[in-house]
Amino acid sequence: MRLPTLRVDARWLQIGFLASFLLLGALARDFAIGPAQVGLCFGAALLTQAAWQWGLALPQRRQWGGYLSALVSSFGICILVRAENLWAHPLLAAVAMSSKYLLRAGSGEVRSHVFNPANLAAFAAWAWLPGAWLSPGQWGAQTLAALWFIALGLVVTRQAQRWDVSVVFLVSWAGLLAARLVWLGYAWDPGAAMWLQQVGNGAVLLFAFFMISDPMTTPQRRGARLAYAAAVAAGAFAWQYLAFRPHGLIVVLFAASLAVPLINRRWPQPRFAWTQAVHP
C-alpha cells in the first residue's frame, strides 16, 4: 500500500505530538512539572544547540534543523523527567544537546552521535542526579486509546522512515509480557487486563515511537535495526521482570546505544539525514 507522504521534516510532526503529550499530562494528569522547569529546559536546549552550531562553525549553523532536534529533545525531557528543583531540567537539556557533539562514533557516512538525547537525559536523571526521577506510572491506563491513535497516525505519516523499529519493538515487548503472564499461569481474567495495563502504559508508547525509533542512534541497516529493537525489548524485559530493577526501557536502550557504532561498522549503510527527500 502506498500512502501519500508529507514533504515536511518529520520532526515537526514529532513536536506537535510531543507538545500534545506534555499538555495532556500537565492539564489532565497533574504531571509534577512546573512552567519554569519547562521554560528553562527549552531555553537551555536551544542555547546549547546554538552554542555548538556556532562554536564549531558548522556549515549548517544558519539553518533551523538543529533547533528542531533541540525542541524534540526538550519535550522528551519535560515529559519523562521529574525534579524537585529548577536546575535539573536545564542541566539535563544542556548535557543532552552537548552529547550530540561530544559523544560521537563511527566513521565516514555512518558517523553520528551515540545516544538519543532524551534517553541520555532520562538515564542520567535516574542514575546520577540527586533530586530528579522518572515516573513511568504517570500516564495512568486510560489514555491508551488516544495515544495509540495519535501514535498510529504518526506512524502512517512517517511510514517511510523508522516505523518498522517501533512495530518490532512493540511486538517483541508485548509478546514477552504476554508470554510471562501465560507462564505464570494467569487466567484470561485478570491476565488480559494486566497485559493491556502493562503494554498500554504511556511511557511504553512514548519510548516506542519517540525514542527507540530515532534514526540517528539506531543501526542504519534495516535487518540489524529490527534485530536491535527486539534485543532492546528482551534486555528491558530481563532487567525489569527477571532482575526486578526499575526503568528497564530507558536503562537498556542507553546501554544498547553503545553497541550501535559497532553494528554500523559491521553492516554499514549511509546514514540517515532528517532533511533528505522522503521516498515512499
Partner 1 sequence: MRRLIAAAFALLLSASAQAFCGFYAGKADASLFNEASQVVIARDGPRTVLTMVNDYKGALTEFALVVPTPQVIRQGQVRVVDKAVVEHLDAFSAPRLAEYHDSDPCRFDFRWGERQRLYEPAYVAEARAAPLPVPSVVRDAALGVTVEARYTLEEYDIVSLSAMQSDGLETWLAENGYRIPKGASAALKPYINQGMKFFVAKVNLQNQAQTGYTMLRPLQFAFESEKFMLPMRLGMLNAPPDKPQDLIVYVLSRQGRVESSSYRTARLPTGVNLPFFAKPVFKQVYQDMFSEQARREDYRVVFTEHFWNMGFCDPCAAEPLTLQDQRKLGAFWVGGGDPVQNFKALVTPGAEAGKMDAAQMSQRMSWDSPVMVTRLHLRYTANSFPEDLMLTQTSDQQNWQARYVIQQPYDGTLGACFATLNGKDCEALCKPKVAGWLSAKGMGYPKPGVNSDDPLVLQRDCESVCTAAKQAGLQTAGNYYQRELPERLQREKLALAQLTGWSLARIDALPDAQRYASSSPAPAVDKPWWQRLFGRP
Closer residue to partner 1 in complex, CB, 121/154: 121
Neighbours of 130 (CB within 10 A): 9
CA atoms within 13 A on the CB side of 224: 18
d(CA 118, CA 80): 8
Residue 248 CB, nearest distance to partner 1 (Å)? Answer: 10
Closer residue to partner 1 in complex, CB, 230/233: 233
51 and 2 in contact (C-beta within 8 Å)? no
Residue 253 CB, nearest distance to partner 1 (Å)? Answer: 17
Closer residue to partner 1 in complex, CB, 56/141: 141
The cell for 59 is 556549515
The cell for 33 is 512539572
Closer residue to partner 1 in complex, CB, 1/184: 184
Residue 201 CB, nearest distance to partner 1 (Å)? Answer: 8
Residue 242 CB, nearest distance to partner 1 (Å)? Answer: 10
- DSSP state, 137? G
Residue 205 CB, nearest distance to partner 1 (Å)? Answer: 15
Closer residue to partner 1 in complex, CB, 16/34: 34
Closer residue to partner 1 in complex, CB, 83/114: 83
| Secondary structure string (H, E, C) spanning 62-112 | CCCHHHHHHHHHHHHHHHHEEECCCCHHHHHHHHHHHHHHHCEECCHHHCE
The cell for 38 is 519547562
Phi-psi category of 82—alpha, beta or left, where left has phi over 0 and alpha has psi -120 to 50?
beta
Binding site for partner 1 (CB under 8 A): 29-30, 82, 84, 129-142, 183-187, 190, 193-194, 196-198, 243-246
Residue 232 CB, nearest distance to partner 1 (Å)? Answer: 19
The cell for 245 is 530493577
